[in-house]
Amino acid sequence: MKLLVINGPNLNMLGIREPEIYGRETYADLCALIQKHCDEKSIEVTFYQSNHEGAIVDEIQAACGRLDGIVINPGGYTHTSVAIRDAIAAVGLPTVEVHISDPDTREDFRHVSYVRDVCRATFKGLGFAGYLKAVDFLCGEEPKT
Ligand code: DHK
C-alpha cells in the first residue's frame, strides 16, 4: 500500500507555532512518527508540505492512479479551499482529513470544513495520533469517526 501524507500551511512551523494548541513537537517529529508506524505495517509513505494552495492541488492530482490513499491536514485551507476539495473529489482516492486540534471547538470560522464530505473519515483533536488513526483507517483497521 502506498500513502501520501499532505500537510498544508503553517504545519512546517509545528513546535514553534502556538505550542499550547499544536504541541512542542516539530514537523520532522511528526513525519518520523508516521514513518515508523507505516514501516511497521509495510506501508510505503511519502510526505508533502506546502504553504501554497495550488501546489497542494498539484500534489493531489499527481497521486491519481499512482497511490492508494491520502491523509491530509489542509491547515487553514480546510476552511477556505474549494480548489483542494475539488482536487480530492477529482482524483477519487480514499482520503482522510486530520487536524491536530479540534477546529470545531475553536473560533467559529474554523467550524466549516470544505473537505470533510469528500473525505472518508475525519480525525481531529487527537494531536499527532490522529495521523496514525488515519493511516489505520485507510488500512481498514480503524473505525470512522
Ligand atoms: C491546523 C491549522 O493550521 C488550522 O488552520 C486549522 C489545524 C486546524 C489543526 O488542528 O491541525 O484550523
Evaluate whether 6 touches 73 at the Cβ level (below 8 Å).
yes
Rounded CA-CA distance 68/102 in Å is 26
Residue tagged active-site, from 48, 77, 99, 114: 99
Look at the alpha carbons of 16, 21, 24, 27 in this order and tell me if their dihedral is positive or negative: negative
Best substitution site from 11, 56, 78 to test ligand 1's pocket, by max atoms within 8 Å of Cβ? 78
pLDDT in tens, 100-119: 999 999 999 999 999 999 99
> How far does the centroid of ligand 1 lie from the alpha carbon of residue 76, in Å?
6
Q: Domain 2-138 maps to which CATH number in 1.25.40.10, 3.40.50.9100, 3.20.20.150, 3.40.50.720?
A: 3.40.50.9100
**Which ligand 1 atom sits nearest the alpha carbon of residue 102?**
10
- pLDDT above 90: residue 142: no
At 108, list the grid cell: 467559529
Is the backbone of residue 52 left (phi > 0), alpha (psi -120 to 50) or beta? Answer: beta
Distance 130 CA to ligand 1 centre (A): 13
pLDDT surpassing 80 at residue 36:
yes
| Average pLDDT rounded to a whole number, residues 33-42 | 98
pTM of this structure: 0.97
Q: For the chain, what percent of residues have pLDDT higher than 90?
A: 96
pLDDT in tens, 44-54: 999 999 999 99
* 22 tagged catalytic: yes
In 3D space, the residue among 29, 132, 17 whose CA is nearest the CA of residue 71 turns out to be 132
- 94: nearest Cα among 56, 58, 52, 140: 140
Q: What is the pLDDT of residue 136?
A: 98
Q: Closest Cα to atom 2, ligand 1: which residue?
A: 75
Distance 90 CA to ligand 1 centre (A): 23
Grid coordinates given for 31: 513525519
Q: What span, in angstroms and rounded, lies between the C-alpha atoms of 126 and 115?
A: 19
Q: What is the pLDDT of residues 127-138, one digit of tens each?
A: 999 999 999 999
Asked if the model's pLDDT at residue 144 lies above 90, the reply is no
Contact of 61 with 18, CB cutoff 8 Å? no
